């Protein structure tokens, strides 16, 4: 047995099927980095080495899905169960989801990028189809009837000709241990046979979440547990110069820990730990600040690395020659925080050389490796469990708090609870990066776009690909949303639909500007340049719902349109705004969003995600930005960092363009991508000024109005 | 300074000896193990820690525990009666008025308090009443609908 392996018996014991059951392992072409994981050699002994999904049908007939994915509000706890129910012919209620537990679930890269339904969904359905095939074989034997004469419904297999001749899944699995690995793709049900998928289902987790039963990492309570508060520098890059912990040490029952640069106070009550922390006297040396939220854009342009081409056609030279009007613009967006209401939280305990850590993380398996490394433990001695997450949005892809809790548990020998304060959450957030987009575009005398020269710095290439039909275009992406030294003064990372918000804001603003100059209605102008019928249909659907009446812009009505593609899903959004010319304040009155995401597994869940994206997107469009000087962050709570509230709500209408026969695409991100552009375009239509920087604060709008 | 504090918590009498200056949120979550009220911001800016004190919504992260002496505290765990969900809880489920669920306890209790003062609120009154409770997932539209549904359900003197 290789180091790090778990015995097959141990594995089946963990699965709870020593007394009988069916386990189906499955591996398909999932781009989740499985091959890389295999190379690390941390595999289970006696079970197939390369599976990335599995499900169990227990001796009592209950179906359990084991997935390393986590639930952070996006609703996969419901939609994955729906897929299983249909493929396996069991009632929706018979399915139990075990998520984000590294001891029970197969390796998974992480939950992000609207990938669960697109890539994990088909894998899960195939596992279910295989399990159903196994059950059919067992039933054929049990009922002494050939498989082709059998059918399954609600967890019961029966003879089509003689329905009294029947057997339940539970009867079949009892006493049998059947393990299967799917190598060839089993046939999946066509959409027409779905009875659960495609129907609106209430959330599986709703009851627990309205009664307070739902457990988040911070709700874990262990005997003898201590709450930790950690000493933090005032600015990124600041180094500890002097430290006096005597004040904290004098506090009753407070435990002060110092290990290298880690200094923490622990107490059996978090508020007492906080009080003790405030009694620590520490001085830091901060590096001289050179960058701030004003000059960051010049810096990014200066340090931007050579780019990579995202898409191109024709030659820019030819485009230039054809252009009658040329538009040269620069678009900016500031750093944006994830700001989930649950801050990064973890509880860790160490027992007999094994660490168990409950963490609010989008990446339980990544955290497991981090902790193993940090505590110098073999990987199999670390178990990470991601309970319900109180929001993620990409920000919990990085989960430093888990290693902090584990390290403090090791030092103190007691279970340790680490919950970041709101200020720590803002300080250590991996922000959506500040970014710059430069576009030179041109139209000919007939109002056709003939030139598109596009460079994006640090937002990333997602959403930069040109989908309008333009004979001469080139789009180049410089740098990435991932932070690296020398570019940003603090961490950056994926933020709901990484890259695509910035790129959509720039592209759709520029398109609007050209439509205005050409004197063509902006919806028609877009359609004139679309060969892709899918986008055409989505725009049409939004226009129908909105009641779009074509007009040259600016029309004074305050209407805007924008569209884009994210995670395979096509989105078109229209908005109506009102701008107060004296203050620059914007009220978004109405938003209509249409999307084509292929098959929607749970239409109610889809609508909820669409509304969520639209509402959350109001923030980065209108108010959200991190202000800073060097490594010092100024916005550390919701008083100055304003996120959307009830009073901001427009009337929201959503349209799911019917496409049941196409495979499901991403659902957790797409509608957020248009929010910057659609509001910018609506503001232009309202008052005739264009905003080139996100967020479009009242102050910036007022300044733009006074320049006009 | 340690003092003896008596109050009713979710219909059970409580008698604790604590520093009365400590915030109710932490006493509930850590001393008493009632984890429905959530920590979100620590400064009374998000509403995740909302609980009911004598049926009024208060921010437990800003309320010294001394202030609930002799009063009745209800957290989300205490809203259902004998396993029967409160109309607000039912309406939140019905309308899918939640995603990550972290703000949900605060939202429901804030709405409870709102409906006590204004049993048939207009949409505008709901928006005004709920405006200090933050939700990052963007479930606002559904939350308003759920409160409207619950208000209709509770019409005719459903006991609050």
pLDDT in tens, B111-124: 999 999 999 999 99
Whether B56 and B10 map to the same domain: the answer is yes
CB contact under 8 A, A341 and B102: yes
Q: What is the pLDDT of residue A7?
A: 66
Whether B141 and B92 map to the same domain: the answer is yes
Which of the pair, A592 or A52, is modelled with greater confidence? A592
Task: Kindly report, residue by residue over A131-165, the tens digit of the pLDDT.
Answer: 898 899 999 999 999 999 999 999 999 999 998 99
Whether A322 and A258 map to the same domain: the answer is no
- The conformation of residue A222, written as its DSSP 8-state character, comes to -
- Does A605 fall in a domain? yes
Question: Which of A100, A212, A604 would you mutate first to test chain B, the one with the most B CBs within 10 A?
Answer: A212
- Does B8 fall in a domain? yes
Q: Which candidate from B35, B75, B141 shows the least CB-CB separation from A649?
A: B141
Distance from the Cα of B138 to chain A's closest Cα (Å) equals 4
Comparing CA positions, the residue from A216, A269, A224, A387 lying closest to residue B32 is A269
Whether B57 and B92 map to the same domain: the answer is no
Q: How many Å apart are CA A671 and CA A575, to the nearest integer?
A: 13
Residue B144 pLDDT class (50, 70, 90 cuts) = very high
CB contact under 8 A, B45 and A72: no
Q: What is the pLDDT of residue A183?
A: 62
Residue A18 pLDDT class (50, 70, 90 cuts) = low
Element holding A102 (H helix, E strand) = none
CB contact under 8 A, A649 and B140: yes
- Residues contacting B118, CB < 8 A, separation 6+: B125, B129
Whether A406 and A505 map to the same domain: the answer is no
Q: What is the pLDDT of residue B159?
A: 52
Q: What residues does A435 pair with on adjacent strands?
A: A333
CB contact under 8 A, A343 and B40: yes
- The strands making up A150-153's β-sheet, listed across from edge to edge, are A150-153, A156-159, A166-168
> Torsion angle, CA of A87/A91/A92/A97, rounded to 10 degrees?
-80
Distances (CA, A) of B34 to A215, A219, A517, A524: 11, 9, 61, 57
Domain region containing A640? 296-335+431-707
- Does A211 fall in a domain? no
Q: How many Å apart are CA A146 and CA A219, to the nearest integer?
A: 52
- Does A531 fall in a domain? yes
CB contact under 8 A, A210 and B104: yes
Question: Domain holding B15: CATH number?
Answer: 3.10.20.30
Whether A46 and A162 map to the same domain: the answer is yes
Contacts of A392 in chain B (CB under 8 A): 100
CB contact under 8 A, B102 and A637: no
Q: How many Å apart are CA B91 and CA B155, to the nearest integer?
A: 14
Comparing CA positions, the residue from A668, A706, A622 lying closest to residue A114 is A668
Q: Which candidate from B100, B103, B138 shows the least CB-CB separation from A389?
A: B100
Give me the residues of A, 600-639, that contact B with CB < 8 A. 604-605, 608, 611-616, 637-639
Phi-psi region of A141 (alpha: psi -120 to 50; beta: other; left: phi over 0): alpha
Q: How long a stretch of residues is chain A?
A: 708
Please calculate the CA angle B89-B90-B93 and round it to the nearest 5 degrees: 90
Query: For residue A614, which phi and psi values (nearest 5 degrees)?
Result: -65, -45
Distances (CA, A) of A96 to A58, A64, A194, B49: 11, 5, 20, 30
Whether B40 and B15 map to the same domain: the answer is yes
Whether B36 and B91 map to the same domain: the answer is no
- Does A426 fall in a domain? no
Whether B97 and B68 map to the same domain: the answer is no
Whether B51 and B69 map to the same domain: the answer is yes
Query: For residue A183, which phi and psi values (nearest 5 degrees)?
Result: -110, -40
- Does B65 fall in a domain? yes
Which of the pair, A3 or A404, is modelled with greater confidence? A404
Distances (CA, A) of B105 to A52, A404, B36, B43, B71: 35, 28, 6, 18, 20
Task: Kindly report, residue by residue over A623-644, the tens digit of the pLDDT.
Answer: 999 999 999 999 999 999 999 9
Q: What is the pLDDT of residue A492?
A: 96
Question: Domain holding B95: CATH number?
Answer: 1.10.150.120
If you average pLDDT over every residue of chain B, what do you get? 95
Whether A355 and A451 map to the same domain: the answer is no
Task: Kindly report, residue by residue over A584-625, the tens digit of the pLDDT.
Answer: 999 999 999 999 999 999 999 999 999 999 999 999 999 999
- Residues contacting A440, CB < 8 A, separation 6+: A326, A327, A328, A451, A453
Q: Which candidate from A392, A616, A637 shows the least CB-CB separation from B43?
A: A637
Place of tokens 């604060």: A697
Give the distance from CA A62 to its chain's centroid: 30
Among the ranges given (A506-520, A643-657, A660-674, B37-51), the one the predictor scored with the smallest mean pLDDT:
A660-674
User: CB count, 10 Å around CB of A707?
Assistant: 7
Give the distance from CA A1 to its chain's centroid: 37
User: CB count, 10 Å around CB of A330?
Assistant: 14
Give the distance from CA B139 to its chain's centroid: 17
Q: What is the pLDDT of residue B6?
A: 98
Whether B7 and B60 map to the same domain: the answer is yes
If you average pLDDT over every residue of chain A, what do you get? 91
Whether A280 and A407 map to the same domain: the answer is yes
Q: How many Å apart are CA A348 and CA A329, to the nearest integer?
A: 51
- Does A60 fall in a domain? yes
- Residues contacting A296, CB < 8 A, separation 6+: A334, A335, A434
- The conformation of residue B92, written as its DSSP 8-state character, comes to H
Residue B1 pLDDT class (50, 70, 90 cuts) = confident
Whether A170 and A262 map to the same domain: the answer is no
Comparing CA positions, the residue from B102, B112, B32 lying closest to residue B79 is B112
Tokens coding A65 = 């899905």
- Residues contacting A242, CB < 8 A, separation 6+: A281, A282, A283
Question: Which of A219, A229, A277, A341 would you mutate first to test chain B, the one with the most B CBs within 10 A?
Answer: A341
- Does A364 fall in a domain? yes
Distances (CA, A) of A517 to A328, A686, B60: 13, 16, 56
Which of the pair, A121 or A525, is modelled with greater confidence? A525
Mean pLDDT of B23-34: 98
Residue A43 in this model has a pLDDT that exceeds 80: no
Q: What is the pLDDT of residue A125?
A: 87
A227 touches chain B (CB under 8 A): yes
Distance from the Cα of A617 to chain B's closest Cα (Å) equals 9
Q: How many domains in chain A?
A: 3
Q: How many Å apart are CA A246 and CA A430, to the nearest integer?
A: 33
Whether A304 and A186 map to the same domain: the answer is no
A240 half-sphere exposure, CB direction, 13 A CA radius: 15
Whether A224 and A245 map to the same domain: the answer is yes
Among the ranges given (A168-172, A589-593, B75-79), the one the predictor scored with the smallest mean pLDDT:
A168-172
Residue A26 in this model has a pLDDT that exceeds 70: no
Q: At what angle do helices A675-687 and A500-518 cross, to 10 degrees?
A: 30
Q: How many Å apart are CA A92 and CA A449, to the nearest integer?
A: 51
Tokens coding B121 = 């609120």
Cis bond upstream, residue A695 (ω within 30): yes
> Torsion angle, CA of A121/A125/A131/A133, rounded to 10 degrees?
-160
Task: Kindly report, residue by residue over A486-533, the tens digit of the pLDDT.
Answer: 899 999 999 999 999 999 999 999 999 999 999 999 999 999 999 989
Whether B71 and B92 map to the same domain: the answer is no
Q: At which of A197, A229, A254 does a domain end?
A: A197
CB contact under 8 A, A608 and B127: no
Task: Kindly report, residue by residue over B79-102, the tens digit of the pLDDT.
Answer: 999 889 999 999 999 999 999 999
Comparing CA positions, the residue from A104, A140, A126, A95 lying closest to residue A29 is A126
Q: Which candidate from B23, B40, B135 shows the least CB-CB separation from A271?
A: B23
- Does B160 fall in a domain? no
CB contact under 8 A, B98 and A206: yes
CB contact under 8 A, B93 and A203: yes
CB contact under 8 A, A73 and B138: no
Whether B72 and B100 map to the same domain: the answer is no
Q: What is the pLDDT of residue A422?
A: 98
Q: Are A116 and A80 in contact (CB under 8 A)?
A: yes
Whether B107 and B71 map to the same domain: the answer is no
Q: At which of A197, A226, A241 does a domain end?
A: A197
A36 half-sphere exposure, CB direction, 13 A CA radius: 8
CB pairs under 8 A between A and B: 170
Give me the residues of A, 354-383, that contact B with CB < 8 A. none
A163 burial level (CB within 10 Å; 0-12, 13-18, 19+): exposed
Residue A276 pLDDT class (50, 70, 90 cuts) = very high
A320 touches chain B (CB under 8 A): no
Q: What is the pLDDT of residue A6?
A: 60
Residue A61 pLDDT class (50, 70, 90 cuts) = confident
Q: What is the pLDDT of residue A50?
A: 54
CB contact under 8 A, A216 and B102: yes
Question: Which of B20, B45, B99 would you mutate first to test chain A, the one with the most A CBs within 10 A?
Answer: B99
Question: Which of A111, A209, A589, A649 would you mutate first to test chain B, the one with the most B CBs within 10 A?
Answer: A209
Distance from the Cα of B30 to chain A's closest Cα (Å) equals 6
Is the C-alpha dihedral spanning B38, B42, B46, B51 positive or negative? positive
Q: How many Å apart are CA A647 and CA A627, to the nearest integer?
A: 24
Tokens coding A369 = 């490796």
Q: Which candidate from B35, B46, B140 shows the least CB-CB separation from A341?
A: B46
User: CB count, 10 Å around CB of B28?
Assistant: 24
Share of chain A above pLDDT 90, in %: 76
DSSP string, A374-406: HHT--GGGEEEE--B-S--TTTTSS-HHHHHHH
> Torsion angle, CA of A341/A264/A242/A373, rounded to 10 degrees?
-90
Task: Kindly report, residue by residue over A106-116, the tens digit of the pLDDT.
Answer: 788 888 877 78
Strands in A239-344 per DSSP E: 239-244, 255-259, 262-267, 281-285, 308-313, 325-333
Q: At which of B78, B111, B138 does a domain end?
A: B78
CB contact under 8 A, B101 and A393: no
CB contact under 8 A, B42 and A422: yes
Whether B55 and B97 map to the same domain: the answer is no
- Does B63 fall in a domain? yes
- Residues contacting A107, CB < 8 A, separation 6+: A34, A37, A52, A68, A365
Cis bond upstream, residue A425 (ω within 30): no
Q: Are A345 and A359 in contact (CB under 8 A)?
A: yes
Question: Which of A360, A390, A669 would you mutate first to test chain B, the one with the most B CBs within 10 A?
Answer: A390
- Does B123 fall in a domain? yes
Q: What is the pLDDT of residue A182?
A: 66
Residue A271 in this model has a pLDDT that exceeds 50: yes
- The conformation of residue B21, written as its DSSP 8-state character, comes to T
Whether A493 and A624 map to the same domain: the answer is yes
Residue of B nearest to A496 (CA): B137
Q: What is the pLDDT of residue B126?
A: 98
Q: What is the pLDDT of residue B160?
A: 52
A669 touches chain B (CB under 8 A): no
Distance from the Cα of B51 to chain A's closest Cα (Å) equals 12
> Torsion angle, CA of A28/A30/A36/A41, rounded to 10 degrees?
-40
Strand, helix or coil for residue B58:
strand
Q: Which candidate from B96, B105, B134 shows the least CB-CB separation from A643?
A: B134
Domain region containing B64? 2-78
Give me the residues of A, 324-343, that contact B with CB < 8 A. 339-343
Task: Kindly report, residue by residue over A205-262, the tens digit of the pLDDT.
Answer: 999 999 999 999 999 999 999 999 999 999 999 999 999 999 999 999 999 999 988 9
Q: How many domains in chain B?
A: 2
Q: What is the pLDDT of residue A39?
A: 36
Whether A304 and A448 map to the same domain: the answer is yes
B59 half-sphere exposure, CB direction, 13 A CA radius: 15
Residue A416 in this model has a pLDDT that exceeds 60: yes
Tokens coding B106 = 């605060």
Contacts of B22 in chain A (CB under 8 A): 269, 271-272
Q: How many Å apart are CA A561 and CA A547, to the nearest integer?
A: 12
Give me the residues of A, 193-222, that contact B with CB < 8 A. 202-203, 205-216, 218-219, 221
Among the ranges given (A175-184, A608-617, B35-44), the one the predictor scored with the smallest mean pLDDT:
A175-184
Q: What is the pLDDT of residue A41?
A: 34
Residue A177 in this model has a pLDDT that exceeds 80: no
Give me the residues of A, 255-284, that contact B with CB < 8 A. 268-272
Among the ranges given (A59-68, A220-229, A579-588), the one the predictor scored with the smallest mean pLDDT:
A59-68
Distances (CA, A) of A598 to A77, A444, A534, A669, A671: 20, 36, 11, 15, 14
- Does A210 fall in a domain? no
Whether A525 and A598 map to the same domain: the answer is yes
Mean pLDDT of A372-376: 95
CB contact under 8 A, B126 and A218: no
Question: Domain holding A145: CATH number?
Answer: 3.30.365.10
- Does A202 fall in a domain? no
- Does B159 fall in a domain? no
Q: At which of A377, A396, A419 does a domain end?
A: A419
Whether A222 and A314 map to the same domain: the answer is no
């Amino acid at each position: 047995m290789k180091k790090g392996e778990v015995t097959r018996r141990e594995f089946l014991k963990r699965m709870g099927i020593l007394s009988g059951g069916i386990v189906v392992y499955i591996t398909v072409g999932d781009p989740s980095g499985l091959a890389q994981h295999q190379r690390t050699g941390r595999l289970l002994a006696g079970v197939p080495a390369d599976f990335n999904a599995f499900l169990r049908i227990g001796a009592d007939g209950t179906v359990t899905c084991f997935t390393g994915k986590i639930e952070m509000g996006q609703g996969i706890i419901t939609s994955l169960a729906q897929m299983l129910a249909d493929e396996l012919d069991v009632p929706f209620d018979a399915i139990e989801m075990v998520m984000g537990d590294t001891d029970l679930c197969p390796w998974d890269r992480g939950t992000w990028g609207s990938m669960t339904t697109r890539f994990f969904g088909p894998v899960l359905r195939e596992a279910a189809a295989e399990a159903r095939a196994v059950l059919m074989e067992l039933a054929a034997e049990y009922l002494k009837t050939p498989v082709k004469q059998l059918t399954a419904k609600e967890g019961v297999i029966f003879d089509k000709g003689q329905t009294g001749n029947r057997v339940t899944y539970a009867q079949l699995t009892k006493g049998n241990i059947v393990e299967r690995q799917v190598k060839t793709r089993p046939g999946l049900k066509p959409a027409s046979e779905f009875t659960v998928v495609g129907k609106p289902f209430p959330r599986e987790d709703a009851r627990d979440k309205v009664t307070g039963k739902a457990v988040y990492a911070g709700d874990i309570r262990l005997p003898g547990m201590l709450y930790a508060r950690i000493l933090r520098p005032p600015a990124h890059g600041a180094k500890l110069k002097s430290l006096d912990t005597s004040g904290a040490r004098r506090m009753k029952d407070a435990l002060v820990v110092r290990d290298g640069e880690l200094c923490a106070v622990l107490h059996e009550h978090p508020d007492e730990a906080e009080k003790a922390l405030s009694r620590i006297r520490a001085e830091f040396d901060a590096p001289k600040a050179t960058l701030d939220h004003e000059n960051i854009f010049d810096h990014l342009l200066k340090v931007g690395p050579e780019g990579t081409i995202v898409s191109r056609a024709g030659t820019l030279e030819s485009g230039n020659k054809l252009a009658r009007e040329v538009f040269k613009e620069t678009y900016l967006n500031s750093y944006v925080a994830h700001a989930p209401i649950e801050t990064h939280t973890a509880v860790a305990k160490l027992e007999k050389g094994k660490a168990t850590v409950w963490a609010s993380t989008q990446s339980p398996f990544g955290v497991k490796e981090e902790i193993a490394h940090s505590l110098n433990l073999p990987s199999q001695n670390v178990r990470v469990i991601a309970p319900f997450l109180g929001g993620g949005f990409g920000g919990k892809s990085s989960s430093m708090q888990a290693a902090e809790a584990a390290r403090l548990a090791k030092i103190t020998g007691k279970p340790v609870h680490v919950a970041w304060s709101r200020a720590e959450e803002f300080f250590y957030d991996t922000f959506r990066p500040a970014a710059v987009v430069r576009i030179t575009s041109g139209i000919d005398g007939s109002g056709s776009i003939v030139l598109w020269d596009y460079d994006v710095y640090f937002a990333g290439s997602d959403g930069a690909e040109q989908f309008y039909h333009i004979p001469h275009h080139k789009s180049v992406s410089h740098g990435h949303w991932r932070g690296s030294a020398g570019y940003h003064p603090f961490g950056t990372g994926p933020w709901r639909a990484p890259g695509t918000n910035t790129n959509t804001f720039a592209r759709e603003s520029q398109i609007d500007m050209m439509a205005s100059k050409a004197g063509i209605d902006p919806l028609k102008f877009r359609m004139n340049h679309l060969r892709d019928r899918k986008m055409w249909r989505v725009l049409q659907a939004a226009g129908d719902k909105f009641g779009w009446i074509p007009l040259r812009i600016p029309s004074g009505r305050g209407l805007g349109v924008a569209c884009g593609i994210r995670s395979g899903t096509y989105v078109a959004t229209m908005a109506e705004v009102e701008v107060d010319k004296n203050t620059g304040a914007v009220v978004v009155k109405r938003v209509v969003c249409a999307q084509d995401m292929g098959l929607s597994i749970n239409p109610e869940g889809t609508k909820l995600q669409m509304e969520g994206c639209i509402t959350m997107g109001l923030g980065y469009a209108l108010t959200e930005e991190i202000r800073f000087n060097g490594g010092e962050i100024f916005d550390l709570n919701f008083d100055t960092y304003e996120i959307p509230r009830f009073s901001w709500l427009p009337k929201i209408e959503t349209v799911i363009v019917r496409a049941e026969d196409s495979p499901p695409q991403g659902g957790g991100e797409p509608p957020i991508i248009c929010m910057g552009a659609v509001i910018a375009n609506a503001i232009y239509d309202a008052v005739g000024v264009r905003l080139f920087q996100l967020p479009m604060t009242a102050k910036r709008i007022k300044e733009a109005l006074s320049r006009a | 300074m340690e003092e003896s504090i008596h109050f009713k918590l979710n219909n059970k009498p409580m008698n604790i000896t604590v520093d009365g200056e400590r915030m109710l949120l932490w006493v509930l979550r850590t001393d008493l193990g009632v984890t429905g009220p959530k920590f979100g911001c620590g400064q009374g800016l998000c509403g995740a820690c909302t609980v009911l004190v004598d049926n009024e919504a208060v921010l437990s992260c800003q309320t010294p525990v001394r202030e609930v002496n002799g009063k009745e505290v209800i957290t989300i765990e205490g809203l259902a009666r004998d396993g029967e969900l409160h109309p607000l809880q039912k309406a939140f489920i019905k309308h899918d008025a939640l995603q990550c669920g972290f703000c949900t306890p605060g939202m429901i209790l804030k709405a409870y308090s709102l409906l006590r003062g204004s049993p048939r609120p207009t949409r505008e009154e709901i928006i005004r009443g709920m405006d200090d409770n933050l939700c990052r997932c963007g479930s606002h539209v559904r939350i308003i609908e759920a409160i409207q549904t619950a208000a209709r359900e509770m019409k005719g003197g459903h006991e609050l």
